Amino acid sequence: MIAVVLVGGEGTRLRPLTLDEPKPVLPIGGVPFAALMLDRLAAADVSRVILSCGYLPERLRAGIGDPPAGMEVEVVVEDEPLGTAGAIAYAARGRVDGPYLALNGDVLGDADLGALVRAHTERGARATILLTPVDDPTRYGVVVHGPDGAVERFVEKPPTADGLGPAPWWVNAGAYVLDPDVLADVPEGRMTSIEREVFPGLVGDGLFAHRGGGYWRDIGTLESFLAANADAVGGAVATRLGGADGAVLVDPAARVDPAARLTGPVRVCAGAEIAAGAAVGPDAVVGAGARVGEAAEVARAVLLDGARVGARTCVEASAIGRDAVVGDDASLVGCALGTGAAVAAGERLEGERRPG
């Protein structure tokens, strides 16, 4: 089985974290998001992954880490944005000759992709869309389908749930199985959307839906990125981290002072240091080589590798970029700092985004 994964976006909603890091290599629980995605594909017996990338491809190659045993990973670079259908077709052209998986590369989930493939094969489908349940249909495109899974229509961000049946409502989860001919007519070099231009034309012609359930979250905003980290450590989503409710995960190579306080869910990665009197957690990740100073408070936050938080500093609902430094007695609430950014001692920031 081959998978094409769309990782070409610039991650503008996550800036400044993504100014020099493609979104797929940002850490979830201290592990590159792309690595968790490859784990999930390996569980579905995928042996080859084609990453369709248009932004910082070299950093992507370097940041995804070693793939699972037996998996080959290729990065295909788009010269210009091609849209979802255009990018999938570009990456798949000449590389696939049978049904293949196609995924959006910014969704953290744990639905069984192997079951999606089996459903596609058993139904003799041309294309199968993985669905996930939501409680509010007005924020998404609802996929209306019959009892046999055949897609009947799409309702894009309906103002109300009228006419859509009872909750939960099922929406596109950003994962598909496609036969090779589905995108054969997508023009080369033109922006084309699989959701708006391809799938509607397949209604009644071999397009099916598969209800997957499980965890599902787009990690494209600061709030969702922080929530995804908390959920991975807290066990809301199944990953290699082995997280659990209230888990306190401390790498053996980390140094935590006995007088520090860790409140789960929290993860402290290799080489990190937590000084005396510091309070870290809940919902916090301290990246490899990061440091939290004496009597500092870090909650609902992610410190990327090498970040430094000074003594008596408060960091809440924030992401601190690689090698960024926050001085003593500072306060950050709802902030994002880019790589190497610096916040002066005593500075108070709220809702600010500061590049490196």
> What CATH code is carried by the domain that includes residue 324?
2.160.10.10
Write down the pLDDT at residue 180: 93
Give me the CATH number covering residue 22.
3.90.550.10
Same domain, 190 and 303: no
Which of the listed residues 166, 181, 214 is the one where a domain comes to its end?
A: 214
Same domain, 111 and 177: yes
Write down the pLDDT at residue 102: 97
140 belongs to a structural domain: yes
Which of the listed residues 214, 246, 261 is the one where a domain comes to its end?
A: 214
296 belongs to a structural domain: yes
Spatial CA neighbour of 113 closest among 61, 18, 37:
37
Same domain, 142 and 274: no
254 belongs to a structural domain: yes
221 belongs to a structural domain: no
Write down the pLDDT at residue 160: 66
120 and 128 Cβ atoms separated by less than 8 Å: yes
103 burial type by CB count under 10 A (0-12 exposed, 13-18 middle, 19+ buried)? buried
- Measured CA to CA, the distance from residue 322 to residue 341 in angstroms comes to 8
Same domain, 191 and 268: no
**H-type alpha helices, the chain:** 33-43, 57-63, 83-92, 113-123, 199-202, 222-234
Same domain, 200 and 295: no
Write down the pLDDT at residue 161: 66
Write down the pLDDT at residue 239: 93
Q: What are phi and psi of 85, to 5 degrees?
A: -70, -40
Same domain, 238 and 196: no
Three-state DSSP at 24 gives helix
Same domain, 119 and 260: no
Same domain, 36 and 116: yes
Per-residue pLDDT tens digits of the chain, which is 356 residues long = 999 999 878 888 999 999 998 899 999 999 999 999 999 999 999 999 999 988 888 888 888 888 899 999 999 998 888 899 999 999 998 899 899 999 998 899 999 999 999 999 999 999 999 999 988 877 777 899 999 999 998 887 776 666 777 668 899 999 999 999 999 888 887 889 998 899 999 999 999 999 997 899 989 899 999 999 999 999 999 999 999 999 999 999 999 999 999 999 999 999 999 999 999 999 999 999 999 999 999 999 999 999 999 999 999 999 999 999 999 999 999 999 999 999 999 999 999 999 98
- Measured CA to CA, the distance from residue 143 to residue 121 in angstroms comes to 20
Which of the listed residues 188, 214, 240 is the one where a domain comes to its end?
A: 214
Same domain, 100 and 191: yes
Spatial CA neighbour of 177 closest among 224, 89, 118:
118
Give, in order, the Cα–Cα distances in Å from 279 to each of 91, 267, 350: 46, 13, 20
Write down the pLDDT at residue 330: 98
278 belongs to a structural domain: yes
Domain count, the chain: 2
Same domain, 87 and 120: yes
- The range of the structural domain enclosing residue 343 comes to 226-354
Taking only the tens place, the pLDDT of each residue in 65-89 is: 888 999 999 999 988 888 999 999 9
In this prediction the pTM is 0.92
219 belongs to a structural domain: no
Same domain, 169 and 32: yes
220 belongs to a structural domain: no
49 belongs to a structural domain: yes
Same domain, 22 and 99: yes
